[in-house]
Structure 1
Amino acid sequence: MTVTDAPREQRVGGSLSAGVFAVSAVVATVVAGTLTAQEAVPGIPMPGAIVTVGLPVVRVLLDVSAVAVVGLSLLAKLLGFDAPDRTEPVMRRVRPLTVTAAWAWAVCALLTIVLQTAELNPGSVPTLGMIASYVDTVGTGQGLLFSAACALAAAGIGLMAVRFGEKVPAELRIIVALFGLLPIPVTGHAVNSVWHDPIMIMMEVHVMGAAAWTGGLVATVVFVASRRELLAVVLPRFSRLATVCLLMVAMSGLVSGLGTMALTPGVELPGAILTSQYGLLVLTKVTLTVLLVPLAAHIRFRLMPGIRRGEATTVAGWATAELAVMGLAYGVAVAITRAAVG
């Protein structure tokens, strides 16, 4: 049996869910960044509003784009390959969007480099020489450039998938997308300690787990939630993946967040959790992660049995609520990378 396109109203509903995630992320970034902004010091030039507001917004849009690429790449595996007459109509819509998201990821990464160069040189318009010097001497710039290169590679592979379909292995698309996430933790706080490498690994695990969980949910609710027959196949697979990702995100987030604070000179735990901007932001993100648990559990244990039977459910609404909280968590995460630890 061939699956026809979902009604326009259902497609709009799925797009709305993705929009809720993106808007929540941007709003949380702006609010958290405003609350934790450093006060101007007389005599020391400060970056202009374009940099102070634009940089965190572009940075979170980088995350949103990367999440989209990861999730859309995962969707092929979640759908499976044993019923192309049902899955191919969906993937024909997904593949071009993956390319678009990858281009957005690359552009945001490069624009972040420019804005961070401007942040380090307040009052000056970044020149190519200044940008090249920043990339050459600062690990953050190198990480962002590598991430942009991976995004461009994902776009190129995605274009091949648009033309040749699933002859281009889904595993390759997923690996390239996840590989592009690895440098992103470098753009945050660095710890000068023998524990630097373990904490960086935890951050990378955290970033990849969050991207797979969030991206997979976005792809599922946008492209599959309105198709009951496909949803009955995809959601159980995604639910198992999401459980693993939740454990990865929770454990790695606690280790990296508290570890960064514990290894920063002058920071004393547990008091700093409630007295420092960094600690309060970490606490906020932990709270948001905890809020995700009952939302995800409701979908898995209350709605999934009916979905398996092909019944109509409110899964789209619950998934949208989950994505809203995820968006807030992503916005807070960007603020964490810019907040003072001590």
Structure 2
Amino acid sequence: MLGPALLALVALAVLVGGLVFGGGAAPLPLQDPGPVVRWGLPVAKLGVNLGAAGMLGAILLAVFALSPKKEREYGLALDVAAGSAGLLTVSAASVGFLNFLLVTGKTVTFDSTFGSSLGVFLTEIELGRAWLLVTLGAAAVTVLAFAVRNQVAVLFLGVLAVATLVPMVQQGHAASAGSHNAAIAALGLHIVFAAVWLGGLVTIVILQRQLDARRLAVVMARYSSVAIVCFVVVAISGYASAAINVGAWDRLGTDYGIIVIGKVLALVSLGLFGALWRTRLIRRLDRVAADPAKRASGLGTFWTIIVAELAFMGIASGLAAALGRTASPVSDDTIAATTTPAEILTGSPLPPWPDWYRYFTEWDLDLIWLLAAGFGIFFYVAGVIRLRRRGDKWPIYRTVLWVAGLLLLVYITGGGVNVYQDVLFSAHMGAHMALTMAVPVLLVPGAPVTLAARAIRKRDDGSRGGREWILWAVHTKFAQVVANPIVAAVVFVGSLWVFYYTPLFRWTMVDHIGHEWMIVHFLISGYLFVQSLIGIDPVPYRLPYPFRLLLLLITMAAHAFFGLAIMMAEGLLLADWYGAMGWGTDALVDQQLGGGIAWSIGEIPTLALAITVAIQWSRADEKETKRRDRHADRTGEAELEAYNAQLAAVAERDARRGD
């Protein structure tokens, strides 16, 4: 336990120094809650960060790197997850309680008034409700981590663990920043991936006594591949978050900016340690596995690098907790003074007038989809390179279409369409149509599942890597149901009506989580429908080609009917949103334009799908003809001769009956 203790001590020491330097624990001029609250709140938040890290990191290792067949290492990892979730539960409850004392200025008493005030704070005030949800979610993870051992159950436990942190992400500096959605996305990515990075390393340190040199090298290599991804995401999201909260380069000289610089230096140092992992430590452990006499030197190298890395992680964790209590240079008062109706509703200023060229010059990148597309392109190309190095072929058009589809996704989620979709219904509908029809038409022919199955190395120790989890996902009963062509078509069309004529539409506009859910849903529903028509990846059932064309025509007709319904509507779908942006234009006319986009924009993808189905049909007939010709050549036209003999026999029988 030396490693985790060192991490906690360094983090606590750096936190205290950061609070003293940045004034995060200084007495307040009005309603000062006292030193216990001022110092206890950041310490409790440090506990939240460390608990979340251990929880996510241990679950990630159990899901991706460890095998249930090796019960000691697998069970210990889940015990670490449970203990860390318990720390998160206690720390989150403490943060909620101390925030109550800070906000209300009350002192702790044991009467009914104090209890009722605390209850109101935790259930009706957004800040208190957020920390109550974190506490309850962490408590659930604590119990379940002790109870579950099945890999699939642990995977869903990981989903619950990530969801537990969502209310926490929506608090702090990001919640009040001018670029609200961008700040929330950057902070969320930063917290989750930093937690996985830190917690995975701590878990390996705890597990190393249960692992021999060869097994330790394997687990570390798998963790290292995850750590590379975490480093990239943490670096990019950290830069984006700092840019939003610092505001300008000249503000780096402020207390907040100097702490940010210290955190950046710690992050760079951690990146260098990651390079040492891959270039020295893992190879050293491989040599130790081959020669047990070198075990002492191998473990010495292990502990030297690990202890130093944990120390720098402690520095980064302490500085992160200190930043949470240090005033940002971007003043909330300045933001409030320039608030417009558009800022009140969307969290961002009204963009420039939407001239046609603005859709190609204005950008508001969504960091989540930018990173998803970047990693999607990188891993796809890496898979293709691996196939070609071993002599396998992969059509170039698949790579081109996949890359084009992800680049289009980046533009739709971060380009001019994204800039205007919150303030113009027509832009929103254009984004919707592109996500459901244009992007999937490019992505599906890329056959990512087939590529993953062929390029990713198969695990043989009972653990599940990327290949195993992808194949599990596409073979689940749920996937088999939603991949059915009829179900996919019904979801594709039915979700249009359910989305726009229920409260779901409002939720996706007012909540950034809802906005991200909308993108995911549109992409998946469109992908499944296109996959059922022209997909290359294996599916449980495909319609014959004539019925595919029929299904396409019926679905597109229903899609066009939806567009006409929007065009003919006499009232706004979200009158208090799109009608209150201050454009000075007729929002109903813009909505009717959006209906026209929904009615007409599907023509090009529909034509592309119809042509592709026709080409596949023709090629299938050609393949069947060639197969029959080859069979006839092998059998010497035996089938044809047998058929002719059968016809002759029938003719002879008919002649006898006539006589």
| Counterpart position of 1:273 | 252
Cα distance in 2 for partners of 1:212, 1:193 equals 26
Whether 2:145 is the aligned partner of 1:158: answer: yes
Supply the AA of the counterpart residue of 2:215: L
> CA separation in 2, counterparts of 1:273 and 1:306?
41
2:193 counterpart of 1:209: yes
Alpha-carbon distance in 1 for matches of 2:315, 2:125? 29
1:337 is aligned to 2:324 = yes
Structure 2 residue aligned with 1:282:
260
Distance change in 2, residues 1:195/1:187 (3 Å): closer
Q: 2:108 aligns with which of 115, 118, 125?
A: 125
Native 8 Å contact 2:7 2:310 kept in 1: yes
Deviation (angstroms), 1:191: 5.2
The 3-state SS of whatever aligns with 1:229 is helix
For residue 135 of structure 2, the aligned residue among 138, 148, 158 is: 148
Q: d(CA) in 2 for partners of 1:136 and 1:261? A: 32
Q: d(CA) in 1 for partners of 2:178 and 2:249?
A: 22
CA distance in 1 between counterparts of 2:38 and 2:176 reads 27
Structure 1 pair 40–234 and aligned structure 2 pair: CA distance change class (3 A): closer
Map of 1:71 onto structure 2: 57
- 301, 305, 316: which one aligns with 2:279: 301
In structure 2, do the counterparts of structure 1 residues 193 and 329 end up closer, same or farther at CA, with 3 Å as the change threshold?
Answer: closer
Give, in angstroms, the shift of residue 91 of structure 1. Answer: 2.4
| Length-normalised TM-score, structure 1 | 0.85
Equivalent position SS for 1:182: helix
CA distance, structure 1, for counterparts of residue 63 and residue 272 of structure 2: 26
Partner in structure 1 of residue 203 of structure 2 = 219
Listed one character per residue, the Cα deviations across residues 160-216 of structure 1 (whole Å, up to 9, x for unaligned) are: 22xxx3366321222222222222222321455662112101110010110111111
Amino acid at match of 1:273: L
Once residues 252 and 41 of structure 1 are traced to their aligned partners in structure 2, the CA distance between those partners, rounded to angstroms, is 31
Amino acid at match of 1:235: M
In the TM superposition, residue 224 of structure 1 has moved relative to its aligned partner by 2.6
Distance 2:129 2:203 in 1: 30
Structure 1 residues 140 and 227: alpha-carbon distance in aligned structure 2, compared to 1, 3 A threshold: farther
Q: Which moved more, 1:31-40 or 1:210-219?
A: 31-40
SS at match of 1:45: coil
Distance in 1 (alpha carbons) for counterparts of 2:243 and 2:252:
9
- How many Å apart are 1:140 and its aligned residue? 2.9
Tell me which residue corresponds to 1:11.
Answer: none
Assess, with a 3 A threshold, how the Cα gap between structure 1 residues 193 and 40 changes in structure 2: closer, same or farther.
Answer: closer
Q: Which runs of 5+ in 2 are unaligned?
A: 330-659
For residues 65 and 195 of structure 1, what CA distance do their matches in structure 2 show? Answer: 29
**Which amino acid is the alignment partner of residue 98 of structure 1?**
A
CA distance in 2, matches of 1:140, 1:176: 21
* CA distance in 1 between partners of 2:175 and 2:98 (Å): 23
- Is the 8 Å Cα contact of residues 21 and 326 (structure 1) preserved in structure 2? yes
Residue 34 of structure 2 corresponds to residue 55 of structure 1: no
CA distance in 2, matches of 1:261, 1:93: 41
Q: 2:61·2:223 contact (CA, 8 Å) conserved in 1?
A: no
Larger relative contact order, structure 1 or 2 (CA cutoff 8 Å, min sep 6): 1
Deviations 1:79-130 (A, max 9, x none): 333x71xx21222333334323222211111111111111223362272233
| Offset, 1:20 | 1.0
Mean CA deviation greater in 165-174 or 322-331? 165-174
Residue of structure 1 equivalent to 2:13: 27
Question: Against the structure 1 CA distance between its residues 339 and 157, is the aligned structure 2 distance closer, same or farther, given a 3 Å change threshold?
Answer: same
Q: What SS is found at the alignment partner of 1:187?
A: coil
Residue by residue, what CA displacement relative to the aligned partner does 1:243-278 show, whole Å, maximum 9, x if unpaired? 00000000000101111232xxxxxx211111x222
Using the aligned pairs only, state the percent identity.
26
Structure 2 distance, partners of 1:123, 1:191, is 25
Aligned-partner Cα distance in 1 for 2:79–2:72: 13
What TM-score results when the alignment is normalised by the length of structure 2? 0.45
Partner residue, 1:232 = 217
Distance 1:80 1:203 in 2: 29
Cα-Cα RMSD: 2.2
Report which stretch shifted further, 276-285 or 136-145.
136-145
When structure 1 is superposed on structure 2, of 294-303 and 209-218 the one drifting more is: 294-303
Name the counterpart of 1:96. Answer: 79
Q: Compared with structure 1, are the counterparts of its residues 134 and 34 closer, same or farther at alpha carbon in structure 2 (3 Å cutoff)?
A: farther
Match of 1:200 in 2: 184
Whole-angstrom CA distance in 2 between matches of 1:93 and 1:242: 21
Q: State the distance in 1 between where 2:27 and 2:141 align.
A: 41
1:19 to 1:307, Cα distance in 2 relative to 1, 3 A: same
User: In 1, Cα distance between the equivalents of 2:226 and 2:242?
Assistant: 24
In the superposition, relative to structure 1, how do residues 219 and 168 fare at CA in structure 2: closer, same or farther (>3 Å)?
same
Name which one, 1 or 2, has greater alpha-carbon Rg: 2
Alignment partners' CA distance in 2, 1:157 and 1:168: 13
Contact 1:160/1:168 (8 A) holds in 2? no
What is aligned with 2:608? none
Q: Is the 8 A contact 1:48 1:122 kept in 2?
A: no
- Distance change >3 Å, CA 109–CA 192, structure 1 → 2: closer
What are structure 1's unaligned runs of at least 5 residues?
Answer: 1-14, 263-268
1:244 match? 229
- The partner residue of 1:112 within 88, 95, 105 is 95
The alpha-carbon distance between structure 1 residues 74 and 191, as it changes in their structure 2 partners (threshold 3 A), is: closer
Structure 1 CA distance for aligned equivalents of residues 87 and 284 of structure 2: 37
The CA distance in 2 between the partners of 1:40 and 1:280, in whole Å, is: 21
Q: Which residue of 2 aligns with 1:16?
A: 2
Distance change (3 Å), C-alpha of 1:34 and 1:222: same
Supply the distance in 2 between the matched residues of 1:253 and 1:235 (Cα, whole angstroms).
25
